[in-house]
Amino acid sequence: MVMKDKLYKNHHKGIYYKTRKALIASGIFLSLFGAISIPTYINYKNSKSPAAEKREEIKVIKPEEVEFTPERITLDVAKCPTTGNTQVTSIEWTTIK
């Protein structure tokens, strides 16, 4: 009976009250979302991540600064009798002069 009295007294349709309730609920949700996300975003932007610090420490080396020495790497490979997988048995590293 309360809804019928409201409709009669204020001359609003039922959709008016449903829309008003939905807008109030979405306003509360958006306020809570902003209250949580804005400080989090500010804190995130002000903090230095370890990855950003590492990026600052990387030194770029030009190709002219590096001394090139050709090298030969020899791998001895054997097949495992039980699993059949290929395994490296020895590595030989030699510098070509």
User: What is the residue extent of each domain of the chain?
Assistant: 2-95
- Whether residue 2 is predicted with pLDDT greater than 70 in this model: the reply is no
Enumerate residues 6+ apart whose C-beta is below 8 A from 12. 6
* Distance of alpha carbon 11 from alpha carbon 8, whole angstroms: 5
Tell me, yes or no, if the pTM score tops 0.85: no
pLDDT in tens, 32-71: 999 999 888 888 777 766 665 556 666 777 777 777 666 7
Percent of the chain with pLDDT over 70: 73
